[in-house]
Amino acid sequence: MRMSATRLIGTFALGGALLASAACGPLDKVAGGDKKAACDNIQTELSSIKSKISTPDINNVRSSAAANAQLYRDTASKIRSEGAKAGGDVQSSSDKVAGDLESLATMLGNIGSGSTSTPDMSGSRNFIQDAADLGRACGYSG
């Protein structure tokens, strides 16, 4: 199935919003300081995606796709770094979420570079599940 670039970018914007709402909710009382701080920072990074994402520009799809690809790469790097501070389940879950964001960035980067091939969406299939796992690792109970 061929998906228009505008629709693809919109899908990732929605995915970012869903990811931000699914990950790292309230922590239980036994969470350690590094884990709590890391999860709080991860939540902040994920929540900020919604406000930073570039609106698809019909007249310049490549530019908005490239900007969003960079946003996803930057966010993935920060999430991976914060997860490493927490260690354990938070680290492994944050690595998966970061990998999902990097897959999205690669797809958007291909659009930004002018690729006309149909994007491979397989890397984004686990996106929401990985975010939910990260939320559980951070102590989200709701």
What is residue 89's predicted lDDT score, i.e. its pLDDT?
93
What is residue 116's predicted lDDT score, i.e. its pLDDT?
58
What is residue 75's predicted lDDT score, i.e. its pLDDT?
96
**Domain edges within the chain:** 5-137
Q: How far apart, in whole angstroms, are the C-alpha atoms of residue 87 and residue 42? A: 13
Alpha carbon distances (Å) from 116 to 40, 71, 109: 39, 22, 12
Residue type, 37: A
For 79-110, write each residue's pLDDT tens digit. Answer: 999 999 999 999 999 999 999 999 888 888 88
Mean residue pLDDT of the chain comes to 77
Q: Is 6's pLDDT higher than 90?
A: no
Sequential DSSP letters for the chain: ----HHHHHHHHHHHHHHHHHHSS-PPPTT--HHHHHHHHHHHHHHHHHHHHPPPP-TT-HHHHHHHHHHHHHHHHHHHHHHHHHH-HHHHHHHHHHHHHHHHHHHHHHHHHTT--SPP--GGGTTHHHHHHHHHHHTT---
Please state at what angle helix 61-86 crosses helix 33-52, rounded to 10 degrees.
170
What is residue 18's predicted lDDT score, i.e. its pLDDT?
47
